Amino acid sequence: MKRKVLALAAAMVAYTGAASAQGSTADAIAQYREMLQDGNPAELFEMQGEELWTQKRGPKKASLEQCDFGKGPGVLKGAFVEMPRYFEDTGKVMDLETRLIHCMEQLQGFDAQELLETPYRKNESNNVIALVTYIATQSKDMPFAVPQKVQQEKDMYEVGKRLFFQRSGPHDFSCATCHGQDGKRIRLQDLPNLTVNPGDATGFAAWPAYRVSNAQLWTMQKRLNDCYRQQRFPEPKFGSDATIALSVYMGVNAEGAKSGVPAIKR
């Protein structure tokens, strides 16, 4: 894995150098990502998740094959691009990660609260990451259609919108500070405008994704928590209503954009 990361870093340096000579850093980064996609290490997580999906695990020694992500028990195709969504059995709007953990508790006997509190990439969290990657990829290239059919979903959209534009913290930042306008960039790359469609496709529709810079697979929950950290906010609890509301807002804005997961990021 270490050799893989070094090779990817070398490729990035080469393409960035080419950009300086030829004029467009953004085009060079796009070429760099396209070149790496065939060997995306996220595929390893996807394969692990596929195995975990059918394994009988947990105190109940059961598989996850009857988990319902909104399309019926065990149906994965098209589920990810319609989440977060409202689930009658919990009375909550849930994203892929919180719904998966709910199923792990109900079907396999895991303690959901313990899973939510497990540090990212530690113990059972690694299995959650792999399962999320596998489930999400079953909707690859399908258009996002996050529902706004019931009041709970509409309420979460409005909460997410307010959170996205809420300025706070020691630097008076908000999500919109970086992702509320066209033409912004940071560290050689363009920042997607997440307030418009289809601009959100390069943001929300690209996670989970493998990050070359730290050799980690990040889910949407992890991506949002890190955004809060970079804004110098206290990080939300994993699976919090705040992160789910933000996902609803961005997901609705990404309507029609095709899922590109698992993507690869610098």
Please say if 103 is a catalytic residue.
no
Q: Give me the catalytic one of 67, 175, 178, 227.
A: 227
Q: Which of 200, 233, 250 is nearest to 95 (CA)?
A: 250
- Distance of alpha carbon 204 from alpha carbon 197, whole angstroms: 11
Is residue 136 a contact partner of residue 83, using CB atoms and an 8 Å limit? no
Contacts with 95 (C-beta within 8 Å, 6 or more apart), sequence order: 83, 84, 220, 221, 239, 243, 244, 247
E strands present in 75-176 = 85-87, 92-94
- Distance of alpha carbon 103 from alpha carbon 52, whole angstroms: 13
CA angle, residues 25, 31, 34, in degrees to nearest 5: 145
List, by residue number, the catalytic residues. Answer: 227
